Amino acid sequence: MKENINSKQYSNSRQKEPKSAKIQTRIFKYSTLIGLGIFALIILYPLFWMLISSFKSYEEIYSDVWNLPGTWNFSNYTLAWEQGIQNYFINSLYVTGFAILITVTIGSMAAFTLSRYRNRWIDIALLFIIGGLMMNPQVALIPLFEILTFFNLIDTRWALILTYVAYRLPLTIILIRAFFLTVPKELSESALLDGCSEFGIYRRIYLPLSIPVVVTTVILNAFFAWNEFLFATVFINSSDLKTIPSGLMVFRDALRTDWGVLLSGMVIASIPMIILLIFLQKYLVRGLAEGSVKG
Amino acid sequence: MKKKFPLTPILFLLPSVFFLAVFIYIPLVQNFYNSFFDFNVFSNSKEFVGLAQIQKLFQDDVVMVSIMNNFKYAIISVIFQIFFALILASILEDKLFRKVAPTLRVIYFIPVMISISVIALLFSFIYNPQMGLLNSFLELVGLDTLTRPWLGNSTSAIYSVIAMSQWQSIGLITMLFIVAIQKIPNELYEAADIDGAGRIRKFFSVTLPQVKETMFVNLLITVTGSILVFNEPFILTNGGPGNSSMTLAVHMYQTGFSRDNMGYASTIATLTFLLSAIFALIQIKVSKTGKED
């Protein structure tokens, strides 16, 4: 009752002075817009600076920080590509590609079992996999180094692929399982009656129905594998085998003052992920949100 | 009655269980075990030293500096990435900014997508004492007195590293809050409108309680991330100058891989794990008690 009266008073007072309220809203709107704009500038300007400076010569970057390049040195890009980025780029593609393929394949298989059956063992397995989310690569670094040395995998691309798969599996399985749980039971039951095998149900029913969530996990894992730094630095020594994030460090040390070329390399390294963001924003955001909430 | 449990599902589960066991769980146990030994990369045998490494941990000044830096990281990150990001998210979801919000969302999110090594290299240009954007900007607006070698100064180094992290991650946390706000039923806001609630009132009585769960998750991500942080200080300062911007993970890396003292490095890793686990447990506990209210 009391609240009702109150609300009436509020709405009355609102109707009485619509003009000042309008002005207030307008002031709020424009001052906030200015704030948002400044923040956007703080985010964008360094990236814009990276892009324009990648066309400059060393002298120009050093002496004239703000201006556009006098001459646009596209040669910085060809130099960066030839002096190592090409190699790193291919290694990153290789590692990212295989890591995604293995993670999504065995992850969706595990998710299939975990969503279709329920008993004590399945619960334990589920707990085992969710627990994997809590473990952090930093803490396991030294034992992983020992294990990979034991398998003779140190300084190979597979050192990265296998560890990436392991650390990405928990999230991948949890996301795909959540989706598999929504697949109607009738579909698989009628398939079983038609003589379809378990593997057939997975291949022909569950996988085709789950394309959206598979796309989401592919993107999340691509994002992770393309940008991962710690393992890429510790497990790979030969500069021929380095991926882009760790390769850029080698690149910096080798180039010393060739800043334009270094900046071109940085731009090349960022392009694939920005394209991913622009075209697949919807899947990416959804995945990040679901992944973090369940983590 | 026992239900038939065919072989295929077990085979389906095996590869994943194998990967997790070999690359996640065994290393964790192994790390605890290593903490009691003295060894280096090429040594064939590990020498058992009991609690000596743990004793060393308490006498190591660098560990103290690192923990302080990790805490600074956590506190500043919580202020920016929880409070500021939540305000930013609710502004972007406000009807008033419907036209610009989608563009701004993507802009704020761009740094999240870029590799940390690119970001850190870019910021080493920004912080450069001679030609860096930051010092040039301060000179441009007449604040010459504030210019300094940001990464070369032992007081400002860690804050410069932390500032870069905020710049990169704020878009991610903002996006997570936006998704949470979008899930709030519209009726709640409509009801608040009828009650004549203003923007700030609506933020405190509708948005804030409704995104509580996301807030705890983000808090967890931010705090454990701060305790484990490695890439940013490693690339920008490598813990320097001196040990002024050292964090636990960088200290662990240097002890193990630069000074080749794997046993002690494992002890530091164990400490890091325990710290992050303790904070995670506290936060989960607090968030659970919050829910019962």
Contacts of A56 in chain B (CB under 8 A): none
Place of tokens 């692929």: A161
Examine the domain organization and report whether A115 and A21 are in the same domain.
no
For residue A9, pLDDT beyond 70: no
| Cβ-Cβ contacts under 8 Å, A229 against chain B | 115-117, 231, 235
What is the reported pLDDT for A96?
Answer: 95
pLDDT in tens, B40-96: 877 767 888 878 888 888 888 999 999 999 999 999 999 988 899 999 999 998 888
- Judgement on whether residues A93 and A137 belong to the same structural domain of the protein: yes
Residue A100 lies in a domain: yes
* Closest chain B residue to the Cα of A223, Cα to Cα: B113
pLDDT 10s digits, A133-149: 888 888 889 999 999 99
Q: Domain check: are A113 and A176 in the same one? A: yes
Residue B153 confidence (pLDDT)? 85
| Whether residues A34 and A146 fall in one domain | no
Q: Which residues of A are less than 8 Å from B20 in CB distance?
A: 128-129, 132, 166, 169-170
Are A61 and B109 inside 8 Å of each other by CB? no
Q: Which of A229, A277, A289 sits opposite B176 (nearest CB)?
A: A289
Q: What is the 3-state secondary structure (H, E, C) of B162-182?
A: HHHHHHHHHHHHHHHHHHHHH
Predicted ipTM? Answer: 0.86
Residue A80 reports pLDDT greater than 70: yes
User: Cβ contact (<8 Å) for B228 and A138?
Assistant: yes
Identify the pLDDT of residue B63: 93
Residue A62 included in any domain? no
The tally of domains found in chain A comes to 2
Q: Quote the pLDDT of residue A289.
A: 66
Domains of chain B, earliest start first: 46-287 (1.10.3720.10)
Identify which of B111, B230, B256 has the shortest CB distance to residue A230: B230
Q: Is the pLDDT of residue B234 over 80?
A: yes
CATH code for position A113: 1.10.3720.10
* Average pLDDT taken over every residue of chain B: 87
Within a domain: residue A59? no
Asked if omega into B111 is within 30° of 0 (cis), the reply is no
Residue of B nearest to A266 (CA): B118
Residue A196 has pLDDT above 90, yes or no: no
Residue A272 within any structural domain of the chain:
yes
Instruction: Indicate whether A140 and A188 sit together in one domain.
Output: yes
* Per-residue confidence (pLDDT) for residue A2, from 0 to 100: 42
Structural domain contains residue A67: no
> What mean pLDDT comes out for the span B216-234?
90
User: Do the domain assignments include residue A66?
Assistant: no
Q: Which domain holds residue A30?
A: 2-53
Residue A110 CB neighbours (<10 A): 28
Amino acid at B133: L
Same domain, A86 and A46: no
Q: What are the chain A neighbours of B196 within 8 Å (beta carbons)?
A: 6-7, 10-11, 13-14
Q: Of A248, A208, A37, A1, which is closest to residue A112 (Cα–Cα)?
A: A208
Residue A148 lies in a domain: yes
Give me the percent of chain A exceeding a pLDDT of 70: 91
Both A110 and A47 in one domain: the answer is: no
pTM of the model: 0.86
DSSP of chain B, one letter per residue? -PPP--HHHHHHHHHHHHHHIIIIIHHHHHHHHHTTEE--TT-SSPEE-TTHHHHHHHH-HHHHHHHHHHHHHHHHHHIIIIIIHHHHHHHHTSGGGTTTHHHHHHHHHHHHHS-HHHHHHHHHHHT-TTT-HHHHHHHHTT-GGG---TTTSTTHHHHHHHHHHHHHHHHHHHHHHHHHHHTS-HHHHHHHHHTT--HHHHIIIIIHHHTHHHHHHHHHHHHHHHHH--HHHHHHTTT-STTTT--HHHHHHIIIIIS--HHHHHHHHHHHHHHHHHHHHHHHHHHHHHHH-
Between the alpha carbon of residue A134 and those of residues A138, A286, B61, the distances in Å are 12, 21, 29
Q: Please judge whether B24 and A142 are an interchain contact, meaning their C-beta atoms are less than 8 angstroms apart.
A: no
Average pLDDT over residues A11-32: 71
Give the nearest partner residue to B9 out of A144, A198, A270, using CB atoms: A198
Q: Which residues of A244-265 are buried (b: 16+ CB within 10 A; e: fewer)?
A: bbbbbbebbeebeebbbbbbbb
Alpha helix segments (H runs only) across A117-258: 120-131, 137-150, 157-180, 185-193, 198-200, 207-209, 211-227, 230-234, 244-255
**Chain A positions in Cβ-Cβ contact with residue B41 (cut-off 8 Å):** 145
With 80 as the cut, is the pLDDT of residue B165 above it?
yes
| pLDDT, greater one: B193 or A153 | A153
B88-109 tens-digit pLDDT: 999 998 888 888 888 898 899 8
Q: Quick one: pLDDT band at residue A48, thresholds 50, 70, 90?
A: very high
pLDDT given at position B289: 61
Q: What is the pLDDT of residue A151?
A: 92
What is the reported pLDDT for A14? 47
A37 and A95 part of one domain = no
User: Which one of A62, A109, A169 has the shortest CB-CB distance to B12?
Assistant: A109
Examine the domain organization and report whether A37 and A142 are in the same domain: no
pLDDT, residue A279, reads: 82
A3: pLDDT strictly greater than 70:
no
Single-letter residue type at A114: L
